[in-house]
Amino acid sequence: MLYILSTPIGNLSDLSERAKQTLAECDLVIAENPSYSKRLFEYLNIPSKKFIQFAEHNEQQKLPIILKELHGKKAVLLSDAGTPGISDPGFRIVREAVDRGIEITPIPGPNAAITALCASGLPTDKFIFLGFVPKTEIKFTNELKSAEDLEATIIFYESPHRIIKSVGFIANSWPGAKVVVARELTKLHEEFIRGTAAEVLNKLQARGNIKGEITVLVSFK
């Protein structure tokens, strides 16, 4: 049995009772960052479990070990925050487990992309999640152009040190596009910066120093 368990993206009170019970009863924890995930167990006063790290740098080495461990055990897959498998290598475990007939059970919960979308004020009837976008302007704009053709709201993750550059790419090609930068969702300094691409770019440039986890949304409607 493998549980795909969503954890809070900031506020620990967002963890569901079902998630807490599953964490307390599991035999094995597969975590992107075990040292980070262990803090959640300490917060919940849950006794230590067996942890296996599964991340981009060791997935080929750890995948066979994890698949062997899954048989006969109740395992939980965790990412650093949010829903496992979304922009992290966790989906590879799920895919291989499905192929081997291992039962998969999702424990739904927080996700930065959907959390940002529902509060953005942008259309929610059709959206595309791009994960982490390309770093070069040509590849970046080509990817967004594909979504523009579908008339879908675009959602992607960006780092603080690249956010001005990425919004600048949008402003260069679509200065009037509606942009929302959602920062530090569910945390103490949660913030939504809204406006046209050009307006949001000006707001970000005026700050100079930008910190935190960032989700960007773009609409051409």
Helix, strand, coil shares of the chain, percent, nearest 5, are 40, 25, 35
Q: In total, how many domains does the chain have?
A: 2
pLDDT tens per residue, range 100-148: 999 999 999 999 999 999 999 999 999 999 999 999 999 999 999 988 8
Answer whether 170's CB lies under 8 Å from 207's CB. Answer: no
pLDDT above 80: residue 208: no
Tokens of 169: 């790419």
The reported pLDDT for the residue numbered 88 is 83
Q: Which of 107, 141, 175 is the last residue of a domain?
A: 107
Q: Which of 64, 84, 107 is the last residue of a domain?
A: 107
Tokens of 166: 């990425």
| Helices (H), ranges, 50-174 | 59-70, 90-99, 112-120, 137-149, 163-173
Residues 158-162 have a mean pLDDT of: 96
Q: Which of 83, 107, 131 is the last residue of a domain?
A: 107
The reported pLDDT for the residue numbered 48 is 87
- 221 closest CA partner among 192, 179, 190: 179
Q: Which domain holds residue 70?
A: 2-107
pLDDT above 90: residue 63: yes
Answer whether 203's CB lies under 8 Å from 177's CB. Answer: no
Question: Is the full-model pTM beyond 0.85?
Answer: yes
* 211 burial type by CB count under 10 A (0-12 exposed, 13-18 middle, 19+ buried): exposed
Judgement on whether residues 116 and 103 belong to the same structural domain of the protein: no
Judgement on whether residues 186 and 117 belong to the same structural domain of the protein: yes
- 90 closest CA partner among 6, 158, 22: 6
pLDDT above 80: residue 177: yes
Percent of the chain whose predicted confidence (pLDDT) is above 70? 100
